[in-house]
């Protein structure tokens, strides 16, 4: 831990102070000695105070700034940052002075193949997930003309402008040149996010909207802009660097930190060619070496990859609550956690029991109706379509909790499906589309899924993570060990996804017929075993062993085959490399990874690898929520929580009363949020 002396209250604010401490800096007030250093933030006016103290005491200076992936909303909107730059030579946007980034870009010419592959993956991560410094924008492609010219505005008098040797006249010249260079082309001026948020002024305004020039003031992914633009003009904006990663050679009017490397068309008189660098080398220096990354959930140093995952989860959660959500037919105890998942820019969700009223209110607010998937009715679906109101079906995710939903243990993951729901094969679900698209995932994303699989198996995790012992298995030599997981017989996955085999007794009979001489284990569903749901049977005559309280993960490690109707245990068996026989049509059947004894939807034509199926099911489809910090998170965070037991389990009367009380108050949250 390095002491850093600061003279600005911003350094002592809790979010920044926590991040700096986690990254190895200890901000404190006092006077440094000559061997210590003073911290200043960028080139804000207050930084002069720190520079003066450093000179007086003979101490060094470290300039701090936000990293290149910061947050969803801006800092002036109260969003805490996820990355930090600490430069003890200067700061990256003051290109007339020495700074560490310049040296790192020079050194990046010697990056090895592994470093460059990581950088290429990082660039693809930005593009695929539409990540930028700020990320408060929808992902729907906007209505843009083909082949327009993109001109990028910046905040007025920002240090990054003056640091690049530019001023207001530079912006005026840039726009004039763009019009001259492209006289018959539409020009779109992209407004800065802080200007859109009303926090700062920009260089361009309504007076610049002349002829074919327009001002884009709505939130938009810069990657959508790059995809349609034929040319990009900038002074020194970070978007200029991102345009390079999108395949452009931007025209740059300031002496920007990414200028002079052969990747830009430079029009600033002081820009000189330093050395030629590739986009991957530029990314390696800026994102992988210059930035320090922070994990706000575990309060520790992180990596670019993990930070990108966290930021993507945060941005997607914000987008999922961008418009008002009316929750219909939600049980009282679920309302508390639903408020956490669905609270966003549109405020807290509202809970309305009457279906026509819920649809009418959603239509009035231009929002959507969310319903627990099992409570969706044909009448609700028809009425929502007639009113042109989106209907979201909500269900538990596949890594749910440390305890049963029937015991009111809150979920750490939910799915929100706008097409159908994953357990209903009679209609297309959003998960099916995600699985189909997963066949085109890049190798690094498939490796992420494989890492996830290995960690789940290593930690012995399943949907509910109930624990338990593993009784002795007395199979004879040469016998296959077949697990038959019992299910809740009136569960929607049976009602929708089973064909001729619809009961636990039927399943055991069919399995025994396939394996008359092998060792058959029957494990009742936990909800059924506890008397909470339907499906209890006497399996003693057909099964060699009935295991009531066995740890499902440990049991899966011991078996050879899982025979199921539609149980999630079949998916968990696939994670462990086991053969899976399906008598129904669960979401993981019909893709070429299971032995299907029943019909599966003919639309499931894709043939994903197991890694692709895992990515779609555990990464692409659900949303995750960390109940400890109360924030959206990536699946890896939930996995670590479950593996370390830091979620707790909780059960009994106190949990029920607390959950219902939270739900009661959540029902009226829209009145004060």
CATH number of the domain residue 588 falls in? 3.40.50
* Residue 112 domain-assigned (yes or no): no
Whether residue 592 is found in the same domain as residue 646: no
Beta-carbon contacts of 656 under 8 Å, excluding residues fewer than 6 positions away, are 333, 407, 408
Whether residue 521 is found in the same domain as residue 583: yes
Over 50: is that where the pLDDT of 671 sits?
A: no
Whether residue 597 is found in the same domain as residue 641: no
Predicted confidence at residue 670, as pLDDT, reads 43
Report, as an integer, the average pLDDT of 509-534.
86
Whether residue 480 is found in the same domain as residue 360: no
**Residue 405's pLDDT band (cuts 50, 70, 90):** very low
Mean pLDDT of the chain: 92
* Residue 164 domain-assigned (yes or no): yes
Over 70: is that where the pLDDT of 441 sits?
A: yes
Whether residue 334 is found in the same domain as residue 416: yes
**Residue 650's pLDDT band (cuts 50, 70, 90):** very low
* Residue 306 domain-assigned (yes or no): no
* Residue 438 domain-assigned (yes or no): no
* Residue 116 domain-assigned (yes or no): no
Predicted confidence at residue 648, as pLDDT, reads 53
Which parts of 530-622 fold into alpha helices (H)?
A: 552-558, 568-575, 610-614
Report, as an integer, the average pLDDT of 47-63.
96
93-96 LR contacts (CB < 8 Å, sep 24+): 93/159, 93/160, 93/163, 93/164, 93/236, 93/256, 93/257, 94/43, 94/159, 94/163, 95/163, 95/164, 95/165, 95/255, 95/256, 95/257, 95/259, 96/163, 96/165, 96/255, 96/270
Report, as an integer, the average pLDDT of 4-33.
94
* Residue 506 domain-assigned (yes or no): yes
Using a pLDDT cut of 70, give the percent of the chain over it: 93
* Residue 561 domain-assigned (yes or no): yes
Whether residue 577 is found in the same domain as residue 633: no
Whether residue 566 is found in the same domain as residue 501: yes
Whether residue 265 is found in the same domain as residue 325: no
Round to whole Å and give the CA distance between 470 and 454: 21
How many domains is the chain partitioned into structurally? Answer: 3
Whether residue 258 is found in the same domain as residue 181: yes
Whether residue 138 is found in the same domain as residue 264: yes
Beta-carbon contacts of 648 under 8 Å, excluding residues fewer than 6 positions away, are 402
Predicted confidence at residue 470, as pLDDT, reads 76
Whether residue 593 is found in the same domain as residue 476: yes
Predicted confidence at residue 115, as pLDDT, reads 97
Whether residue 234 is found in the same domain as residue 330: no
71 vs 466, residue with greater confidence: 71
* Residue 17 domain-assigned (yes or no): no
Buried b (16+ CB within 10 A) or exposed e, 554-583: ebbeebbbbbbbbbbbbbbbbbeebebbbb
- For 470, phi then psi, to 5°, come to -120, 105
Over 90: is that where the pLDDT of 100 sits?
A: yes
**Residue 167's pLDDT band (cuts 50, 70, 90):** very high
Which domain range does residue 506 map to?
467-604
Of 262, 278, 294, at which residue does a domain stop?
Answer: 278
Report, as an integer, the average pLDDT of 518-547.
82
């Amino acid at each position: 831990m390095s002491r850093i002396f600061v003279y600005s209250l911003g350094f002592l604010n809790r979010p920044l102070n926590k991040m700096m401490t986690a990254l190895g800096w200890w901000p404190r007030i006092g006077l440094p000695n000559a061997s210590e250093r003073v911290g200043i933030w960028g080139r804000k006016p207050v930084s002069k105070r720190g520079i003066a103290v450093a000179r007086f005491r003979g101490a060094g200076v470290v300039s701090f700034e936000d990293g290149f992936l910061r947050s969803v909303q801006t800092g002036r909107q109260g969003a805490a940052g996820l990355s930090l730059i600490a430069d003890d030579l200067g700061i990256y946007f003051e290109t007339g002075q020495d700074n560490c980034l310049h040296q790192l870009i020079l050194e990046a010419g010697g990056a090895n193949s592994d470093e460059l592959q990581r950088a290429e993956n990082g660039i693809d991560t930005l593009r695929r997930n539409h990540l930028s410094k700020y990320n408060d924008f929808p992902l729907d492609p906007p209505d843009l003309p083909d082949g327009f010219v993109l001109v990028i505005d910046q905040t007025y008098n920002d240090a990054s402008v003056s640091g690049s040797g530019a001023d207001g006249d530079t912006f005026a010249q840039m726009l004039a040149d763009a019009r001259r260079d492209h006289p018959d082309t539409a020009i779109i001026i992209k407004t800065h996010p802080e200007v859109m948020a009303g926090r700062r002024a920009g260089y361009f305004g309504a007076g610049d909207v002349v002829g074919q020039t327009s001002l884009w003031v709505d939130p938009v992914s810069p990657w959508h802009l790059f995809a349609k633009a034929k040319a990009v003009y900038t002074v020194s904006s970070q978007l200029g660097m991102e345009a390079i990663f999108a395949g452009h050679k931007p025209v740059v009017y300031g002496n920007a930190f990414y200028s002079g490397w052969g990747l830009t068309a430079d029009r600033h008189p002081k820009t000189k060619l330093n050395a030629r660098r590739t986009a991957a080398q530029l990314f390696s220096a800026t994102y992988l070496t210059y930035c320090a990354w922070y994990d706000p959930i575990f309060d520790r140093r992180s990596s670019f990859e993990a930070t990108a995952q966290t930021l993507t989860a945060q941005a997607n959660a914000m987008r999922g609550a961008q418009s008002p959500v009316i929750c219909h037919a939600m049980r009282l105890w679920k309302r508390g956690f639903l408020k956490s998942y669905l609270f966003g820019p549109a405020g807290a969700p509202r809970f309305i029991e009457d279906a026509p009223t819920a649809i009418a209110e959603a239509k009035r607010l231009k929002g959507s109706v969310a319903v627990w998937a099992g409570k969706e009715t044909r009448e609700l679906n028809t009425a929502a379509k007639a009113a042109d109101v989106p209907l979201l079906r909500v269900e538990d995710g596949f890594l749910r909790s440390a305890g049963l939903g029937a015991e009111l243990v809150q979920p750490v993951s939910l799915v929100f499906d706008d097409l159908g729901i994953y357990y209903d094969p009679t209609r297309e679900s959003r998960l099916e589309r995600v699985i189909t698209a997963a066949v085109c995932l890049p190798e690094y994303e498939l490796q992420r899924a494989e890492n996830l699989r290995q960690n789940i198996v290593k930690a012995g995790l399943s949907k509910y993570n109930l624990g338990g012992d593993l009784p002795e298995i007395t199979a004879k030599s040469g016998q296959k060990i077949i697990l038959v997981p019992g299910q809740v017989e009136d569960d929607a996955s049976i009602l929708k996804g089973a064909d001729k085999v619809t009961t636990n007794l039927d399943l055991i009979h069919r399995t025994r017929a396939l394996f008359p001489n092998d060792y058959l284990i029957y494990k009742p569903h936990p909800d059924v075993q506890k008397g909470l749901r339907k499906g209890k049977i006497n399996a003693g005559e057909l099964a060699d062993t009935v295991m009531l309280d066995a740890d499902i993960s440990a049991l899966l490690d011991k078996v050879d085959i899982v025979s199921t109707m539609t149980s999630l245990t079949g998916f968990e068996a696939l994670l462990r490399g086991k053969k899976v026989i399906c008598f129904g049509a669960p979401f993981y059947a019909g893709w070429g990874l299971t032995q299907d004894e029943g019909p599966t939807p003919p639309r499931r034509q894709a043939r994903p690898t197991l890694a692709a199926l895992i990515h779609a099911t555990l990464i692409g489809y659900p949303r995750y929520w960390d109940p400890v910090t109360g924030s959206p998170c990536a699946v890896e965070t939930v996995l670590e929580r479950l593996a370390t037991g830091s979620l707790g389990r909780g059960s009994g009367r106190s949990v029920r009363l607390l959950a219902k009380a939270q739900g009661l108050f959540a029902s009226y949250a829209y009145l004060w949020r």
